[in-house]
Amino acid sequence: MKDLLTALTAVVAGIALTALIYWVLNRIIHLFPEKIKKLIEPYVFVGPVLFLIGLFVIVPTIQSIRLSFMEEAIDGSTKFVGLQNFRDLFAEDYFPNMVVNNLMWIAIVPILTVSIGLAIAQFANNVGSRAEKIFKSIFFMPMTISFVSAAVIWRYIYAYAPEGQSQVGLLNTLWIKLGGKPQAWFQIEALKFNNLLLMIILIWLSAGYAMVLLSAAIKSVPEDTLEAGRVDGANTGQIFFKIVLPQIWPTAVAVFITVLIGAMKVFDIVLAMTGGNYNTTVLAQTFYLEYFSYGNTGKAMAAVVILILAIVPVMFYQVRHYRKFEAAR
C-alpha cells in the first residue's frame, strides 16, 4: 500500500510540476511584444521537452558509448582500452547463440504479432458493436500487464513436475491428457523450441496493441472503395488483400517496427522465465548480467552500444517511412 501511495504521489507531483512550468512560461511569454512572442513561443514550450530528452536519453547514450571503450579498475578509476570490451564480448562462448536468439526474436515476433493483430482486428470489426467492445477489451487486456507479471502467469502454464507428481502447469496437464509424459519445456533446445515458448509471451502481450491500431486503420478505409470492389465482383478475400491491406499498409509497417524494437530490447521475460539458461540468453540480458552480476561496466556498455547500433537504423527507417507516407497523402 505504501509503494502504491508513493507511486501515485510521484505521478501527481510530476503532473503538477509540469503544469506549473508551462504556466510560468506562458506568463513570461506574454510579457514580450507580440512580434517577439510569436518568434520565441514554439521554442519556449518545446524547450523543456528537448531538455529532458537530452538529459535522460542523449546524455546517458553518450556516456554508455564512452564507457564501452573504458575499463574500470577496483579503485573506481577508468582507463581507455579501445575495442577490447567488444573483443571480449565477441569472444564469449555464448555470443554466437545469443546473436541467433536475437535474430529469431526480431524475425518471428513482429511478423506473428502483426498477423495475429490484423486477424483479430478484421474479425472484431465484423461483429456487432457490443461484441466488438468486449472482444477488443479481452485481447487488449494483456497490454496492461508488465512483462514480469506476464512471465509469472506463463510460468504456471509451462510449469513442470516429475512424472507421478501433480502437474500445476496447464501445458503439461493437457499433454498428459493427450497421452504424453511431463516435459520440462524450457530444457527442450532442439530447433530453439524453448526460445519459441518465450516468444509466445511477448506475442501475447503485443497482439492487443497491434489489434487496436490496425482496427482503427481498417475503420478509416473509405467505404466507397469497398463498395467499388463489391460492384466489380470482388469477394471478401480480394477486398481485404487488394483494397483494405494496401490502404492500411503504413500503419501495419509502423506497428511492425514498434514491435520489432520491443523484441530487440526484450529482457524481462527471458530473465524471469529462464534466467538465460538453456541457451535462451539475449543481448539485453547480457548487459544486465555483465553490469549487475559481474560488475564489468565496459563489457556491459559494449552490449548496450551494439543494441543502440541495431535499433537506431530501424528508428530512422520508421521516421523516414512516416514522412514519405505523410508526403503522399
Reported pTM = 0.85
pLDDT digits (tens, 9 = 90+) for 149-190: 899 899 999 999 888 788 888 999 999 999 889 999 999 999
Alpha helices in the chain (DSSP H): 2-29, 34-53, 59-67, 84-91, 95-124, 129-140, 147-158, 170-177, 193-219, 223-231, 236-239, 245-264, 268-273, 283-288, 297-328
Would you call 99 exposed, middle or buried from its count of C-beta atoms within 10 A (0-12, 13-18, 19+)? middle
Going residue by residue through the chain, which has 329 residues, state the pLDDT in tens, using 9 for 90 and above. Answer: 677 788 888 888 888 988 888 888 888 888 888 888 888 877 877 888 888 888 888 888 899 999 999 887 766 678 888 899 999 999 999 899 999 999 999 999 999 999 999 999 988 888 777 888 888 888 889 988 888 889 989 999 999 988 878 888 899 999 999 988 999 999 999 989 999 999 999 999 999 999 999 999 999 888 888 888 888 888 888 888 888 998 898 889 989 999 999 999 898 899 999 988 999 999 998 898 888 888 888 999 999 999 888 888 888 888 787 777 777 66
Per-residue b/e over 187-205, b at no fewer than 16 CB within 10 Å? Answer: eeeeebebbebbbbbbbbb
DSSP symbol at 187: G
DSSP symbol at 71: E
User: Whole-angstrom Cα distance, residue 295 to residue 276?
Assistant: 18
User: Whole-angstrom Cα distance, residue 216 to residue 72?
Assistant: 51
Report percent pLDDT > 90 for the chain: 35
The full 3-state SS of 126-182, as one line of letters, equals CCCHHHHHHHHHHHHHHHHCCHHHHHHHHHHHHCCCCCCCCCCCHHHHHHHHCCCCC
- Here the cell at position 311 is 535499433
Task: Return the CATH fold of 95-280.
Answer: MetI-like fold (1.10.3720)
User: Whole-angstrom Cα distance, residue 130 to residue 135?
Assistant: 9
